[in-house]
């Protein structure tokens, strides 16, 4: 049981009007299973990779729903624990212009918030190739924070590559509270992914985009530092390299942007697992674009489709 990627995080259920109706009035809702690390695992498993997701789910029908959803992708859910309690939910209104997307969290006190040290799959962790945890997990509770750190540090000590996406969520905690915690997480990681906005907001990094990337890499000391820039694509920098790699975005259809960042991470890690680090930014941006066209938090695809998107790349003309 040696996984290519092992991840730790929360599962959520998204409720969203099944039409363009407003949350106040809609009669029918889609229910989607999601969660930052879960989404990344789901996409990687769709691509045929051997991944495992660890969490604590409520021992009720909603917990079983999460397992059922993730299993369909082929991901291993045998490490998941269950406990009495609730599943976090969130409500989303799509937000067509001039409305903005409206997100209402109802995720406090979910079962994973009381995760215990002994719940964690320490052996599997040390045997994995990559350990992934996002910056949302330490925001949930003291218990998830401590465990996220310990898992990251244990993994690293065992020679496992540690990856993180800072994923600052201003509705979960303030920038002031988040900055030192996320910095500690980033310092534990070999691969750090962050949005340009988060790096500027949390750490006051300034200057051109390339400078932000370089300064963040220096600050965290991570082997790879990736800055995602929304509709502007992304840049990456590696330790010891002066060169900043830049990629423009792929064309997108704005069906559902939730989970696009997790799609990016999946694409980046997928390329890393295949030894295509030099193209990891492209793989990430391609999956992020694909996610925009697929309803729900998770992303179903195949290696062949991903390669087709990469091959059909017409971004040159728009850069």
- Least distance in angstroms from the C-beta of 80 to a second copy: 12
**278 binding a second copy? (CB under 8 A):** no
Size of the site for a second copy (CB under 8 A): 60
Which span sits near a second copy by CB under 8 A: 57-65, 112-120, 164-172, 180-188?
57-65
Q: Which is nearer to a second copy, 4 or 190 (CB)?
A: 4
> Vertex 12, ends 195 and 168: CA angle to 5°?
20
In contact, 222 and 191? CB cutoff 8 Å: yes
- Least distance in angstroms from the C-beta of 30 to a second copy: 6
**316 binding a second copy? (CB under 8 A):** no
Long-range CB contacts (< 8 A, 24+ apart) of 138-142?
138/181, 138/182, 138/185, 139/169, 139/172, 139/173, 139/178, 139/181, 140/10, 140/107, 140/110, 140/112, 140/113, 140/172, 141/112, 141/113, 141/114
Quick one: which H or E segment has residue 255?
none
- Least distance in angstroms from the C-beta of 89 to a second copy: 7
Contacts of a second copy in 86-115 (CB under 8 A): 86-87, 89, 91, 93, 96-100, 102, 104, 106, 108-109
In a 3-state reduction of DSSP, which class is residue 69? Answer: helix
How deeply is 98 buried, as exposed, middle or buried, from its count of CB atoms within 10 A (0-12, 13-18, 19+)? exposed
Contacts of a second copy in 206-265 (CB under 8 A): 250-253, 255-256
Q: Which is nearer to a second copy, 89 or 154 (CB)?
A: 89
Contacts of a second copy in 9-38 (CB under 8 A): 15, 18-31
Among 1, 2, 68, 207, binds a second copy (CB under 8 A): 68
**286 binding a second copy? (CB under 8 A):** yes
- At 150, list the tokens: 């310990």
Q: Which is nearer to a second copy, 215 or 291 (CB)?
A: 291
How far, in Å, CA of 101 to CA of 109, rounded? 25
Identify any residues that bridge with 17 across adjacent strands, giving them in sequence order.
Answer: 29
262 is known as an active-site residue: yes
How far, in Å, CA of 152 to CA of 162, rounded? 6
**82 binding a second copy? (CB under 8 A):** no
In contact, 294 and 266? CB cutoff 8 Å: no
Q: Which is nearer to a second copy, 86 or 169 (CB)?
A: 86
Query: 50, 76, 256, 262: which one is catalytic?
Result: 262
**Residue 48 C-alpha from the chain's centroid:** 18
Tell me the catalytic residues: 262
Binding site for a second copy (CB under 8 A): 15, 18-31, 60-62, 64-65, 68-69, 71-74, 86-87, 89, 91, 93, 96-100, 102, 104, 106, 108-109, 250-253, 255-256, 286, 289-290, 293-296, 300, 302, 305, 308-309, 312
């Amino acid at each position: 049981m040696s996984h290519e990627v092992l991840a730790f995080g929360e599962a959520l259920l998204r409720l969203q009007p099944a039409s363009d109706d407003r949350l106040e009035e809609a009669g029918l809702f889609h229910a989607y299973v999601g969660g930052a690390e879960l989404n990344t695992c789901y996409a990687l498993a769709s691509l045929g990779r051997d991944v495992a997701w660890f969490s604590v789910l409520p021992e009720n029908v909603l917990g079983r729903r999460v397992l059922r959803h993730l299993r369909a992708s082929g991901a291993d859910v045998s490490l998941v624990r269950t406990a009495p309690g609730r599943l976090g939910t969130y409500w989303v209104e799509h937000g067509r212009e001039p409305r903005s997307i409206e997100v209402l969290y109802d995720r406090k006190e979910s079962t994973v918030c009381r995760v215990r040290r002994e719940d964690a799959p320490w052996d599997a962790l040390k045997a994995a190739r990559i350990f992934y945890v996002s910056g949302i997990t330490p925001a949930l509770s003291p218990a998830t924070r401590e465990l996220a750190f310990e898992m990251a540090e244990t993994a690293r000590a065992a020679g496992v590559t540690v990856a993180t996406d800072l994923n600052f969520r201003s509705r979960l905690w303030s920038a002031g509270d988040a900055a030192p915690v996320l910095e500690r997480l980033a310092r534990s990681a070999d691969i750090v992914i962050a949005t340009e906005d988060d790096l500027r907001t949390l750490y006051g990094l300034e200057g051109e985009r390339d400078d932000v990337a370089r300064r963040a890499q220096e600050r965290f000391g991570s082997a790879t530092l990736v800055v995602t820039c929304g509709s502007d694509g992304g840049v990456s920098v590696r330790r010891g390299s002066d060169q900043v790699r830049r990629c423009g975005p792929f064309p997108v259809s704005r069906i559902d942007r939730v989970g696009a960042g997790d799609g990016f991470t999946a694409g980046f890690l997928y390329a890393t697992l295949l030894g295509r680090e030099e193209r990891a930014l492209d793989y990430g941006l391609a999956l992020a674009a694909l996610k925009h066209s697929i309803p729900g938090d998770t992303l179903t695809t195949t290696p062949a489709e991903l390669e087709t998107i990469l091959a059909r790349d017409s971004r040159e003309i728009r850069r």
